Amino acid sequence: MSSRLQAILWVRPRLRILNQLLLPHRREYVEINDCRAGHHAIASMQTRGAPAIAIVAALSLAAELCGLEFSSAATAQAHIRQQLAYLSTSRPTAVNLFDA
């Protein structure tokens, strides 16, 4: 791993985020494999800042989708909409964050 500090590491299908709760004393990364883990990381403020929150939400959904198969496009679309709605509850005070 590089000595350069990176808040978000994405190597498909793996998402790892810097746990910002531990800074500046420790550098620890949290693996995000699905929307539940992404929601937790955002809600618990392991990731902070509107751009980082939006990226973690999008990539946690992408990581989850990499491991799923759907019987139809409609089923996939319904799942994606449901997960986006769930992720949007992770930081209720972030106004318009998920409009992007």
Distance from C-alpha of 34 to C-alpha of 41, rounded to nearest angstrom = 11
Task: Inform me whether the pLDDT recorded for 81 exceeds 70.
Answer: yes
Distance from C-alpha of 21 to C-alpha of 30, rounded to nearest angstrom = 11
Q: What is this structure's pTM?
A: 0.88
Task: Inform me whether the pLDDT recorded for 86 exceeds 90.
Answer: yes
Residues 23-33: pLDDT tens digits? 999 999 999 99
Q: 67 has which bridge partners? A: none
The 10 Å Cβ neighbour count of residue 84 is 14
Residues 9-66: pLDDT tens digits? 999 889 999 999 999 999 999 999 999 999 999 999 999 988 899 999 999 999 999 9
Nearest partner of 41 among 23, 18, 63, 62, judged by Cα: 18
**pLDDT, position 18:** 96
